[in-house]
A and B are shown apart, each in its own frame.
Chain A
Amino acid sequence: MTEDWQNGGFGIYIHWPFCAAKCPYCDFNSHVARTIDHAAWRNAYLEEIRKAAEQTPGRIVHTVFFGGGTPSLMEPWVVADIIDAIRKHWPTANDMEITLEANPGSVEAQRFADFRAGGVNRISMGIQALNDEDLRRLGRIHSADEARAAFDIARKTFDRVSFDLIYGRQKQTLADWESELKQALTMAIDHLSLYQLTIEQGTAFGDRYNAGKLAGLPDEDRAADMFTLTRDICADFGMPAYEVSNHARDGAQSRHNLIYWRYGDYVGIGPGAHGRLTLNGQRFATEAPTNPKRWLEELRQLPNVALTGEDQANEFLLMGLRLTDGVDLARFEALSGRSVAPDTLKNLSELGLLDQRGRNISVTEQGVSVLNGVLRELLAD
């Protein structure tokens, strides 16, 4: 019998928790450290890889993703050793995708060749903005020119390079974003991640926002307009959205991230890393302690949490409906043992928010801007 995860695939996520500076909007598990014992970190990662492989022997690894933090600040030899270890412990796909997140500074640009030599074949670069004023306001430590230079080096070194931009910034008008986005699309190769700025609690931006001091953010209507504009322009440039914030030419999608959205299995290694693993027919959520020092020195995994069928069905739907392709209701039913109320589907279709083709449902262009609302309806009992 095929297990549900096989519909999504199997990948490995490695979390590197350090950055050169903390950005004010960022709530990722990232920290600034004065010194890093790279050898100790390497050993810890290898140890965890070995343990994970023991639990999932024989699985074919399709993708590896070095995320952060700023993994482009990892020593290339550590990255290489990790990739070697993965190849040693599991069978790997011929076309295994190995992505590394990079910041667009000069330090990291010098390492691209070494990363490539170690096995990395895709770069995801956090450019965030294409003008210096906005970069400063976002607390970034690189200039737009530095970012362009780093991007040029990356694209000469790798076949696959994507970059991230954050929009919906303070004081950004619809017209500002339109022209910046068009510039970005002329730079882009075949993949772009375009995130609307989210004010996260517990960040410096979160505090300023709560104090009423983060002026000029878009209201709901302008945010909606920016979102729609982004999708329209990208589609015109041949890079339609395949996920809420991700755009690609056909075939250039991030295969690693698709595993999440298609609700496959993934190993999570490193501080704060989450995983989903089906072991002996039961799917578990795995999680590691977030504090880097604690992770390195004391405890590398928290106890696994068994997910009920209903939990899995909910996660499947909330991840899957982010994809333009949508989800197969049969998988939802198999996981939860129930079906979505036909009235709800009918209502959402009538409101123009949902498309249903046979057993497949997906959100429409109109529905994607209010996906959380659609999910609340679909998942309400």
Chain B
Amino acid sequence: MTPLSHIRNFSIVAHIDHGKSTLADRLIQSTNTVADRDMKAQMLDAMDIERERGITIKANTVRIDYVADNGEAYVLNLIDTPGHVDFAYEVSRSMRAVEGSLLVVDSTQGVEAQTLANVYQAIDADHDIVPILNKIDLPAADCDRVAEQIEDVIGIDASGAIRVSAKTGIGIHETLEAIVHHLPAPKGEENADLKAMLVDSWYDSYLGVIVLVRIIDGRLKKGDRVKFVSNGTVHHVDRIGVFRPQMQVIDSLGPGEIGFLTASIKQVRDTRVGDTVTHDKKTVTPLPGFKPAQPVVFCGLFPVDSSEFEDLRDAIDKLALNDASFSFEMETSAALGFGFRCGFLGLLHLEVIRDRIEREYDIELITTAPSVVYHVYMRDGSMQELHNPADMPDLSVVDHLEEPRIKATILVPDDYLGDVLKLCQDRRGVQLDLTYAGSRAMVVYDLPLNEVVFDFYDRLKSVTKGYASFDYQLTGYQTDNLVKMSVLVNDEPVDALSMMVHRDRAEMRGRAMVEKLKDLIPRHMFKIPIQAAIGGKVIARETLSAMRKDVTAKCYGGDATRKRKLLDKQKAGKKKMRQFGKVDIPQEAFISALKMDS
């Protein structure tokens, strides 16, 4: 049993790719938590998608034993967190379970948007912070400048920042000592009633739901009957353990410790992150809990092959089992048939889920335009949430609409500042702040989420050649002049292409949309009008001219087989298109048509 004074709990936070997971590797390795021969790079990023994209999506906890230079043995619980803004929620709840943070800053890059976002969360959570300047092995490292930036931009003392190469192992020992000496020990009461925080939960096909807990007071033992305070359900604990990083079963967890329990729980939904756990029959003051993660981006997912609808349902059910932030409901589209309207934390989250359905479940998908959640206020005073532009009620019953706004923070070298400001203005942004730190500008904008959701980040990267970083938070809803734009192909409305736009931007979006569609839809045997309309009024129009030439020049006795097979293949290809009236629209059109060039 480790005394509280010898426990340290901390999260590792940073902007995306600044080296959190690599630092975690070194901490794990240098303390012999994992034998050298079992090490692999970013070993905590265990999911296929994480390894493939080289990013962390899910926060991970590891318990490390460390004998410090003073000869004392410490238990360190580290939580490696994701850097991408879509998964900011993982970071914030991890921070609630620990007392300190290692703030990793890539010394070749400096402070970026998620550095700021994360550090503010750490300060909010009352953390002590140890700054780490990483990647000092690289020639472009500039520790002095970055340390200065940390002090200027963030306003924390960087004089004790540790210079580290998570790649080569420089500074790892100093990091471990700093954890012991600069981060606080947890507080807690061994002899009080059990009070634990439910930090996270996920499904394991062998053990059922695994619940990650942080013990505040009391002791949790195998065989205990525990109660989840929010819903009063009682479970029999059949296993307790810690991650090193593989699961290791232990007998009990005491105050200040982080570990897991299993209790034959079937669904992740039966557990609520942020919940308070205590013993059955006991009453404790509940912890404040976490705000649940709300999906902010919605889109339709439809199987390319409509006979795979049931398989898709199955896949979505399974994925949702493990991801409480992913929501879904059935949707029918005149154009696309049966599918699901799904909610995500952001576009990366959307991509990750879509990839997993396509790969792990082998279902090809049509993804419709991502949309945000609008608030539709009706004449009768009631309010409806609108997740899908196709469901927009008739205007005669609508009083007004509100759309979600965000506060966006962008860090950019000043060479690109003008482009960034123009981009934000074009997207209906309102400037809130503009400050400089060295040669970098920090721009804060109030923006409509719907202008950002789809391709803002791509555009930002392209206008700044990848040098800008971006973070955002939802701020609230605001009334604006929003309309539904429909798209008609060959005079038939295509519901899956309809979208909500600001009235002032409608012509521009409509024009861009019909021009894109003209390129994306292959020529047919007849000419096809493509129109964008608001209500009954056409605001943009293009005509895709009829195919003029498609005939094989030479076809003799030796060509019959090949031509027949080619036609068979084309028939199969046609299945990947959706028919709207007489027009075949290729699946990629549904997303590509929305990409804007400015």
Instruction: Report which A residues bind B (CB closer than 8 A).
Output: 13, 67, 195-198, 220-221, 223-224, 227, 244-245, 257, 259-260, 266, 268, 272-276, 285, 287, 311, 314-315, 318-319, 322, 347-348, 351, 353, 368-377, 379-381
Contacts and interface: CB of A to CB of B under 8 A. Distances in A.
16 contacts: A13-B558, A67-B556, A197-B553, A198-B553, A224-B548, A260-B557, A285-B561, A315-B561, A318-B564, A351-B526, A353-B525, A368-B551, A369-B548, A369-B550, A376-B571, A377-B525
Given A370-B549, A373-B550, A276 B557 contact: yes
Interface in B548-574: 548-558, 560-561, 563-564, 567-568, 570-571, 574
Interface residues of B, number: 26
Given A224-B549, A260-B556, A274 B571 contact: no
B525 A244 contact: no
Nearest to B568: A314
B463 to A, nearest CB: 27
Contact of B563 (A227, A268, A318): A318
Given A195-B553, A375-B567, 6 more contacts: A198-B554, A227-B549, A260-B560, A273-B558, A274-B558, A318-B555
A376 B567 CA distance: 7
Contact of B561 (A67, A274, A376): A274
B591 interface: no
B348 interface: no
A287 B564 CA distance: 15
Nearest to B523: A220
Nearest to B552: A372
B554 A318 contact: no
A274 B551 contact: no
B525 A315 contact: no
A13 B557 contact: yes
Nearest to A166: B553
Interface of B: 523-526, 547-558, 560-561, 563-564, 567-568, 570-571, 574, 582
A20 to B, nearest CB: 21
A260 B526 CA distance: 30
Given A224-B548, A353-B525, A380-B571, A244 B564 contact: no
Contacts of B552: 198, 244, 371-372
Contact of B549 (A223, A377, A380, A381): A223
A322 B547 CA distance: 18
Contacts, number: 102
B554 A373 contact: no
Contacts of A275: 557
A346 B553 CA distance: 26
B54 to A, nearest CB: 32
A41 B436 CA distance: 84
A381 B556 CA distance: 25
A315 B564 contact: yes
Contact of A276 (B560, B568, B571): B560
Contact of A370 (B548, B556, B558, B564): B548
Of listed A224, A347, A368, A373, residue having the most chain B CB within 10 A = A373
A196 to B, nearest CB: 5
Nearest to B571: A380
Of listed A257, A369, A370, residue having the most chain B CB within 10 A = A370
B94 to A, nearest CB: 50
- Sort A-B residue pairs by CB-CB distance and give the 9 closest, nearest first: A224-B548, A224-B549, A371-B551, A372-B550, A274-B558, A260-B557, A195-B553, A196-B553, A315-B560
B551 A369 contact: yes
Contact of A379 (B555, B560, B561, B567): B567
A265 B551 CA distance: 24
A274 B526 contact: no
A370 B554 contact: no
A195 B554 contact: yes
A36 to B, nearest CB: 22
B525 A374 contact: yes
Contacts of B556: 67, 257, 260
A274 to B, nearest CB: 4
A294 B202 CA distance: 61
A319 B559 CA distance: 9
B525 to A, nearest CB: 5
A373 B547 contact: yes
A20 B64 CA distance: 76
B161 to A, nearest CB: 51
B558 A272 contact: yes
A376 B526 CA distance: 14
Contacts of B553: 195-198, 244-245
A315 B567 CA distance: 10
B68 to A, nearest CB: 63
Contacts of A285: 560-561
B558 A314 contact: no
A370 B525 contact: yes
Nearest to B573: A376
A227 B169 CA distance: 70
Contacts of A376: 567, 570-571, 574
A311 B550 CA distance: 22
Nearest to A272: B558
A380 B523 CA distance: 17
Contact of A220 (B549, B557, B570): B549
A262 to B, nearest CB: 11
B574 A268 contact: no
Contacts of B582: 347
Contacts of B524: 373
A379 B571 contact: yes
Contacts of A287: 561
Contacts of A318: 555, 560, 563-564, 567
A319 B564 CA distance: 10
A220 B571 CA distance: 22
A67 to B, nearest CB: 8
A287 B305 CA distance: 35
A244 B551 CA distance: 8
A369 B557 contact: no
B557 A372 contact: no
Contacts of A375: 567
B548 A373 contact: no
Nearest to A353: B525
A106 to B, nearest CB: 27
B579 to A, nearest CB: 11
Given A311-B564, A375-B567, A268 B551 contact: no
Contacts of B557: 13, 259-260, 266, 268, 274-276
A276 B353 CA distance: 51
A99 to B, nearest CB: 12
A238 B571 CA distance: 38
